[in-house]
Each structure stands twice: as structure tokens, then as C-alpha cells.
Structure 1
Amino acid sequence: MLNFLPGPVLYIISSLLLVINTTIWAGLISIGGLIKLLLPFTAGRNFLTKIMNKFMWSWATCNGGILFLLADIEWDIEGLEKLDKHGWYLLISNHLSGLDIAVQTYVLRNHIPMLKFFLKRELLYVPLLGLGCWALDMPFMSRTSPAKLKKNPKLKGKDLASTRRACEKFKTMPTSIINYVEGSRFTEEKRIRQDSPYRYLLRPKAGGIAFTLSAMGEQFTNLLNVTLVYPEAESDPLSEVMHGKIKKITVKVEVLPVPEVDNKRYFSEAQYRVEFQRWLNQLWEEKDEQIHQVMLKNGVAKEDRP
């Protein structure tokens, strides 16, 4: 462990290690993506996808090794025993930092399929990034702007149909899709600006998860409600862990049934959307209390706020 070194020195070392780790595995994934792009056979492309996922697993494992080297992290993890590496999951989580993805992929890498993200179709055309995400079978989605829908109502429903087609391959391939339903990383400034009713969370947005469930809800076996806590973090957890300041990370996984979403009603009936949002708000209220209990346990809880 290198946590005896001064924070600025640790930051330089951790930056180099993270860049090297990401460059190596992203490079291999991009090369695999080029080969996959040229293969005419579905079986061959599927085989390469499995190799690409192994590369992502290796990236996540190395990230865990870097965390161990920097700070000898104490992991407080609950809920992994009910997970299935061969299942289909929709994962929702609070969002605190760029560190979240590294933590979640590392903690969950041996328990569920490697995490995937819904990405805007425009990212497909970004050099290397688009190819790498395509190689990993990340689902790309199109979102028609409200202005275009108003101008051409016939486009309504086409986004959902195209996303469903993009997700057809997941019917035979165990998959985990992650959705950060707050839509943004938590900061105290954002919490105040939103007038959030929660102590440690932003207001959740139901639109993204409803769209995902409408597109491929029947494929998921469970919803995973993941709660992340960095009890010692005072500002940005990523920066602080790179300085060796964070010694403990809490990850709690709750396995829930998949909520049903009637996409016709959701996108046409305001009351139906309100009911779905109310369900999500209740989950977030429970998550906020769960985080509060972790903070109390570690002696850093915030006072209740109006």
C-alpha cells in the first residue's frame, strides 16, 4: 500500500495508473471492435463480445487493485448473495462521482453480467469511444426532440421501437443495464437548487427508467436498487480517493421485482406518470434513510432538513 505517501504524490501516481489501466483495456476493446466490425458471422461477433466483456472485467478488477494500492479501502458490501451472473438486471443507483462506475463495476463484476449503459446514438460516431461501446454491445438509443414531434406527430413511438430493435440481442445474452435516475451527480448546491426533500440525494427522474422498462422490461429478471456511500468524502469522492483520503466505501444492493410499465399509458396519461413517479420517490425516501443510517454509524450524519 502507498497510503503513507503525501496526498499530492498519491494523486499523481493514481492518475498515471488509472490512465494506463484505461488506455490498455480500452485499446484492446477498440481493436476487438474493429475485428468484430469486419466479421460477417453472428457467432463470431458474439464470441468476440464475450472477449470484450472479459477485457471490461479486467479493467474493473485492475481499478479495484489500484484502490487497494492507494488507500487499502475497507469495503462494506451487502446484498450480493442473491445475484446471478447469468441473470438480466436493470440497476438504478444514486450518483455521487466519477468514481461510482469504477466502484460498481468492481463490486458487481463477479455477480452479474458486466454493466451496460444506454447511450445517445450520436456517441456511436465519436472515434474510438463509439467503436469501443459498440464492441461491448452497449445499447444506443435515439431521442426525438419535442419540437420535431410537434412538427411531425408520426414520429411518436419510433424512438421506443428503434430502441427495442437494438435490445433484441439481449434476449439470449444475460445483461445488466444501469440507470442513474437522478440524471446528475449529487452536490449540495444542486440539492438546494432543486429544493430536494432528501438529505443525501437529488430528486429522481422517472422518464429514463420508464423508457428502459418500456423498451425491454420483459427481459429483466429483477430490478437492483444500489446505494453508494462514501462516508468520509467531503467533496468529490474521486479526487479524495486519488489523494488517499477515503478509507471506506459502502455498497448496498437490494433485489426487487421489476415494475410493470404500460408504455402507451405512461406516455399518454399524466396520472399514470404521477403514480410511477410516486413509486420511485418512495424508493428514494428509503434510500435517503439508508444512507443516513450509514452516516450515523460512521459519525458523519447530517441533521434533518426541511
Structure 2
Amino acid sequence: MFVSLPAILRVPLACLLVLVNTVCHVLPLFAFTLVRIVLPLPAVRRASAAILVHIAESWLTVNGWLFDQFTPTRWSVEGLDGLGRHENFLVISNHQSWVDIPALQKVFNRRIPFMRFFLKSELIWVPLLGPAWWALDFPFMKRHSRQQIEARPELRHQDREATRRACETFRRVPVSIMNFTEGTRFTPAKHDAQQSPYRHLLKPKAGGVAFVIDAMGDTITHILDVTIAYPGGPGTMMDMIAGRVREVRLHARRLPIPDAMRGDYDGDAAFRERFQAWINQLWMEKDARIAAMLGPA
């Protein structure tokens, strides 16, 4: 609808409408969060949690509509058949850009349970969104450098405990837990520094995936393996709003979690080796898939 507008008008208008949409959804979200805090009864908490998710999904729906109206981005999506809102998923994906997050939200919103991301603790201070993520039970994680962990080994377990507490909450409601398995966004410099064996990917960090599977127990039975590719190259969020991300290609596949992939990742060396081999195999397949997705559609 607005794609034909000159960029000098289209981009500020798009940003303004995204902001207005955010404010219009965040304010009622905060109101119901206050009710949940003031009346901490189980029935009230369950009802308010469902309402909060509905508000968040409405916000994502409007954002997706705005992207469709203001950007010429072409979406090529495969693998949505057989997905449902009443099954828990661990969503794993490669990570190239901040565009990945709104892309995942646009494609999977209301097709699977509402996605929760593990966020850096500093993001709690993002205006409007930080408190909204907290209200929606997004887990906030402290990131520690290798030097900090070597100096204080107990820090290694803080994020694990935060993950376990979050998963205990997630076990009570339908949820999709999002994990960018590389741990950081792909860049050529990071790829070279890692000496990654993959052409289009960084090395996967298997420990986080294993820990979520263990913490969720039998309430999560499938992984949703997502691969994202940008034939014109990944861009920034501003590139997306400005219409410079010309195409997003996304492939999803629903994979059962084998019983052999459930175990003590930290304490069982044989299981750890077996689990890493499984994730590495998935990453080899993902690397080949990206190469095919970057070819002609």
C-alpha cells in the first residue's frame, strides 16, 4: 500500500506507526501485568498470562502487516505444514542479523505457541520493550567472559540456573523456546576467528540446547529446526524498514528429539560427545541448505 511512497516519507511514517503500535499494545500489557502482581492468585495468574500472550501476538500481527504494507520484501517460506499451537517446541536457528527476530515472529506468530527468547540482562532497560519482555516471562541472562568465569567458576552456573527456572515456568503453558544456537550473529570475522568448518555458519553451541531439552523433560518432544537466508545479504532493522532487504528465505522442519539426546550434558562425557555429534550433523545439513537457498528460487 505504502511501498510506492518516496523513502523520505515512507521510512519515518513506518517507524512512527511501529512506535504507535508498540505503545498501544504495551500499555494494556502493563495494566494486566499490574493485576497479576496485585492479585497473585493462581487463577488470576493463568488468566492474565493468557491475556498477555494474546496482546503480544496482536502486536506482532500488526507489525507483520506494517512490514507488508511498507516494504517490498519478498518472503519465501517452506515447512509450515503440521505445526500447531498446542505443542511445545524448541526452535533452533542460524543467526545473521537483527532482522532474524522479526522475521521469525512474522512467520511463526499464531502458528506455534508464543516464542520466548533468552535475552541479555542489559536488554531489560530497553524502553517499553524491556519491561514488556519481563512481563511476558522472557528469561534474562547475564553473560560472563571467559576471564570472569576463570576468576569465579561459580558464574558458569548462574545462567544454567536461570534457564532451569525459566523452563519450570514454561512447563505450565504452551511455549516455543527460541535458541540461536551459534550464540552470536554470523560475521565473516567471527567465522574466520573460529575457523568454522561450515561455509555459512558459526560453530553451534550444543550445551544450551541440551540443557533446555533436559530442563523441559517430556513436555517438549520436537525441535523446530529453522534456516534463514538472505539472497541479497543480511541487513539491519533500518534496512528492513527502508525496504533494502529485498528477500527473506526461511525453511523449517519439525524433528523429533530422540531419547538418546536426553541426558546430563555437563556430567556425562559420553552423552556430551554424542549430543555434540547430533547437533554438528544438523549444522552440516543446515549449511548445505543455506547454500541451496542462496541459489535461484
TM-score by length of 2: 0.85
Structure 2 unaligned regions, length at least 5: none
> Which residue does the alignment assign to 1:196?
196
Are the structure 2 counterparts of residues 156 and 12 from structure 1 closer, same or farther at C-alpha, using a change threshold of 3 Å?
closer
Is contact 2:92-2:225 (8 Å) kept?
A: yes
How far 1:71 sits from its partner (Å)?
2.0
Pairwise CA RMSD: 2.9
Deviations 1:146-197, CA, capped at 9 Å, x for gaps: 45874x7xx9978656644543343341111000011111222322222222
Is contact 1:196-1:203 (8 Å) kept?
A: yes
**Distance in 1 (alpha carbons) for counterparts of 2:161 and 2:229:** 37
> Which residue does the alignment assign to 1:267?
266
**Distance in 2 (alpha carbons) for counterparts of 1:237 and 1:13:** 18
How far 1:120 sits from its partner (Å)?
5.9
For the pair 1:47 / 2:47, whether they are aligned, the reply is: yes
Aligned amino acid, residue 244 of structure 1? G
> Which residue does the alignment assign to 1:19?
19
For the pair 1:221 / 2:206, whether they are aligned, the reply is: no
Are the structure 2 counterparts of residues 166 and 179 from structure 1 closer, same or farther at C-alpha, using a change threshold of 3 Å?
closer
Q: Percent identity?
A: 39
> Which residue does the alignment assign to 1:116?
116
How far 1:29 sits from its partner (Å)?
1.9
Are the structure 2 counterparts of residues 194 and 19 from structure 1 closer, same or farther at C-alpha, using a change threshold of 3 Å?
farther
Q: Is the deviation greater in 253-262 or in 133-142?
A: 133-142
**SS of residue paired to 1:90:** strand
> Which residue does the alignment assign to 1:236?
235
**Distance in 1 (alpha carbons) for counterparts of 2:226 and 2:88:** 15
**Distance in 2 (alpha carbons) for counterparts of 1:109 and 1:269:** 37
**Distance in 1 (alpha carbons) for counterparts of 2:97 and 2:49:** 28
Is contact 2:231-2:295 (8 Å) kept?
A: no
> Which residue does the alignment assign to 1:103?
103
> Which residue does the alignment assign to 2:174?
174
> Which residue does the alignment assign to 1:295?
294
How far 1:131 sits from its partner (Å)?
4.1
**Distance in 1 (alpha carbons) for counterparts of 2:124 and 2:11:** 32
Deviations 1:168-227, CA, capped at 9 Å, x for gaps: 343341111000011111222322222222222221111211221221142102110011
Are the structure 2 counterparts of residues 271 and 167 from structure 1 closer, same or farther at C-alpha, using a change threshold of 3 Å?
closer
> Which residue does the alignment assign to 1:138?
138
How far 1:272 sits from its partner (Å)?
3.3
Alignment of 1:60-139 (within 5 A): 60-119=60-119, 131-139=131-139
Aligned amino acid, residue 51 of structure 2? I
Is contact 1:33-1:131 (8 Å) kept?
A: no
Structure 1 unaligned regions, length at least 5: 299-306
TM-score by length of 1: 0.83
Are the structure 2 counterparts of residues 132 and 206 from structure 1 closer, same or farther at C-alpha, using a change threshold of 3 Å?
same
Is contact 2:231-2:247 (8 Å) kept?
A: yes
**Distance in 2 (alpha carbons) for counterparts of 1:29 and 1:46:** 14
Aligned amino acid, residue 209 of structure 1? V
**SS of residue paired to 2:200:** coil
**SS of residue paired to 1:82:** coil
Q: Is the deviation greater in 121-130 or in 190-199?
A: 121-130
Are the structure 2 counterparts of residues 90 and 247 from structure 1 closer, same or farther at C-alpha, using a change threshold of 3 Å?
same
Q: Is the deviation greater in 99-108 or in 194-203?
A: 194-203
> Which residue does the alignment assign to 2:244?
245
> Which residue does the alignment assign to 2:283?
284
Equivalent pairs counted in the alignment come to: 292
Q: Is the deviation greater in 98-107 or in 84-93?
A: 98-107
Deviations 1:3-34, CA, capped at 9 Å, x for gaps: 22344543333322322222332333222212
**Distance in 1 (alpha carbons) for counterparts of 2:275 and 2:219:** 20
Aligned amino acid, residue 281 of structure 1? N
Are the structure 2 counterparts of residues 184 and 121 from structure 1 closer, same or farther at C-alpha, using a change threshold of 3 Å?
closer
How far 1:143 sits from its partner (Å)?
8.3
Is contact 1:86-1:113 (8 Å) kept?
A: yes
> Which residue does the alignment assign to 1:10?
10
Deviations 1:87-118, CA, capped at 9 Å, x for gaps: 11100011122222211112111211110123
**Distance in 1 (alpha carbons) for counterparts of 2:125 and 2:8:** 37
